[in-house]
Amino acid sequence: MRIAKLGVVGAGTMGSGIAALAASAGIPVVLLDIAGPDADRNAPAKAGLERARKARPAAFMDPARASLITLGNLDESLELLASCDLILEAIIEQPAPKQALYARLEPLLKPTAVIASNTSGIPMKVLVEGRSPAFRKQFLGMHFFNPPRYLHLLELIPTAETSPEALDATRRFSEVVLGKGIVIARDVPGFVANRLGVYGMVAAMKGLMESGLSIDEVDALTGPLLGRARSATFRTADITGLDVLLHVSQGLSASTGEDFSMPDWVVKLAASGRLGDKTGGGFYKKVGKDITTLDWKTLEYVPQQKIDDPALAELGRTPLEQRLPMAAKLPGKYGEFVRNYLLRMSHYVLKTTPAIAYDLVSVDRAIEWGYAWEAGPFQQMDVLGHDFLREGFTRLGLDIPPLLDAARDGAFFQASDDGWTYPDDAGRYAPVPPVPGQISLQIVRSKKGLVVEATKDANLLDLGDGVLLLEARSKMNTMGAGVLSMLRKGLDTVASGKYVGLVIGNDDARAYSAGADLGAVVAQTQAGDWKGLDEMVRYFQEGAQLVRRAPFPVVAAPFGLTLGGGCEYALHCDRIQAHAELYMGLVEAGVGLIPAGGGTKELLFRFTETLSTYDEADSFEAVKRAFKLIAMATTSTSALEARNLGFLRPVADRITMNRDRLIADAKARVLDLAPDYVAPIPRTITALGKDALGNLLYAGWAMHEGGTITDHEVRIARELAYVLCGGDGPPRVVGEQDILDLEREAFLKLLGTKETQERIVYTLKTGKPLRN
């Protein structure tokens, strides 16, 4: 059973977001909603699509993929779903309308079609009441999290009657095509993530009232300090919508008999029409350029409170395994809130897990993937210590849940020779189930003999089957001396014959590489070591060329932030296997420099070669394209956009939707290329010289006269143009080294200016660009 076409019924926030994700993955989508007025029966579906087009953060990875979505309405277009392999219902969160829709769908759909509901908590057994056995066999829950593009979690909720074939096809489609992390949940109210997540939100609100804290203070205490998302509690609520949260909490209270009720003041806030982002204000409200915060006692907005606590600031700079126990020991009202919140959340997780999940690993993955926690609840309990939990539960008058007693030696997760183990339903410690398709570098690092070489900055890891991996471990995986040295060792190791190729990748949560090590550049600049700087840039350039000329395949596996030098090295690899969420760019102009690790050269050669097959093509277009990308420090917002910009090649470079599979996919590319691999030949192009240079300089002058760039940015543009044109002489044939030499010369010239030095120092200090 293969899913090649998706139908979505309901073009609201979730339905349109899911349609945008599927279309971004290249899947044709039918998107239906209720019928509009006679003038435009498809108006509701059009409005949903338009909402997805305008969504921020962007719902589409490439706006052009919206063309894959066919719109319709439920009165006239239902038959469009007959050709779909998966039909996902995302309509109003009430059983009766959903059941009525299924009754209309059943006679239309092909026997192999899977039918799913995106309900956030209604049990599947309720939704399929009255349907035939054949329908029930193809039915399951698919609970996406908002926004669908960015949150990794997808809960699949099969019933006892769901066929293994339907579940397997849906799971593979969701993992590989849509890029989701799958958790199989029990068919109970709220499933896994919402049951626990909503409880945590209610617990934080009640803790706020007990401790007399402000909304700003609670968000400071329930965000990254505790390994949670930056949106913490109340910002998350504003994003979700207070109406949605109240509906879910009321539903959970009614269906479970547990108390999920939100405080009266939250109910009053929602009743006043202040529902969060969708209405322009909820717990927070933007007034002009300022953010105001709700005073929960008066329901009036007050200036946002900056939490200036040295202890919190210091904790924020420590790893989670140190940060969490220290946060639980904070003094005063902050410490009281944190301790009680962690204890109540932990107790509820321990008490509820057997009823909602098939194992505790699923709970951790659901909360990590659905709520962006650094580590799931059971991992966090291990970090806090089980003695802390027992003592705290006793102090709060709570019982000791049996699941806590099932942990051996005070830990749910135990290290073993083959990875990690956890207590299963029988109380035995079993291996943690692997994420399908994933090569976990954490597990590779833990196995004897697979760490070929290791330093504080980088590792060489054996991925098996003759593939070696270079893993950067520096801050933000910057390409400093330690990483570059390990790269050369990796190239030498593969060349020695034991391996067939190299992958460059890592498992960082945010950055493939933030670029070159600017701290080292500043240190040598301030010391006036210009000879050392010249050698440093040469060394950087030579490393990129070694990657390009290696007699074996080198594949980059970039994701997230792939900037500056990290982008340059990826461009020199034989292939790029990119994650769909790729924010890639040559951003050196932002710190007053130009790319000098071969990035300027590579874009010039790449774009010129693309045009060379067309007899009438104007080669200046290639120069102009590279100039614009580099001068504007353009960064992609997805891998699809990176392909459109030219950072990824249309055929040679591929995209992995699921980050969990990225390293495995990159390894597969190496193995595919290795048997008959031949290194690329040296390249030459015709540099256009002074005429093209004049055109680029005029463009820079015009931008300056228009007030869009500064005097120093004119100089940056002039140096970049000089490199891209191969100098200011007549047209001439140049090789790669010719342009590399010009790159290096321009880089050092700009580095010698006061303005560039100010930019670099400011960026290192603040993380933001300076325009001077």
* pLDDT at 719 exceeding the cut of 90: yes
The predicted structure's pLDDT at residue 415: 85
Does residue 426 carry a pLDDT above 80? no
Backbone angles phi, psi at 419, to 5 degrees: 125, -135
Identify the pLDDT of residue 749: 97
Phi then psi for residue 657, to 5 deg, are -75, -30
Distance of alpha carbon 122 from the chain centroid: 28
User: Each residue of 12-50: pLDDT tens digit?
Assistant: 999 999 999 999 999 999 999 999 988 899 999 999 999
Span 393-414, pLDDT tens digits: 999 999 999 999 989 888 999 9
pLDDT digits (tens, 9 = 90+) for 498-544: 999 999 999 998 999 999 999 999 999 999 999 999 999 999 999 99
In angstroms, rounded to a whole number, what is the distance separating the alpha carbons of residues 556 and 324? 35
Distances (CA, A) of 306 to 211, 303, 309, 628: 18, 9, 9, 40
User: Quick one: CA dihedral 7, 11, 16, 18, positive or negative?
Assistant: negative
pLDDT at 615: 85
Give the pLDDT confidence score for residue 408 in this predicted structure.
85
CA distance 265 to 405: 38
163 CB neighbour count, 10 Å cutoff: 17
d(CA 652, CA 128): 46
Q: Determine what percent of the chain is predicted with pLDDT higher than 90.
A: 90
| Span 203-216, average pLDDT | 96
Taking the C-alpha atoms of residue 293 and residue 476, their distance in angstroms, rounded to an integer, is 33
Condensed to tens digits (0 to 9), the pLDDT of residues 724-771 reads 999 999 999 999 999 999 999 999 999 999 999 999 999 999 989 999
Residues 86/4, Cβ–Cβ less than 8 Å: no
User: Average pLDDT, whole number, for the chain?
Assistant: 95
Q: What pLDDT was estimated at residue 295?
A: 96
Q: Is 381 left (phi over 0), alpha (psi -120 to 50) or beta?
A: alpha
| pLDDT on residue 616 | 87
Q: Please state, in angstroms and as integers, the Cα–Cα distance from residue 271 to each residue in 113, 249, 282, 291, following that order.
A: 41, 15, 11, 22
Q: Looking at residue 121, what is its pLDDT?
A: 82
d(CA 102, CA 767): 52
The sign of the CA dihedral 123, 128, 133, 135 is negative
State the alpha helices, DSSP H only, in 138-192: 164-172
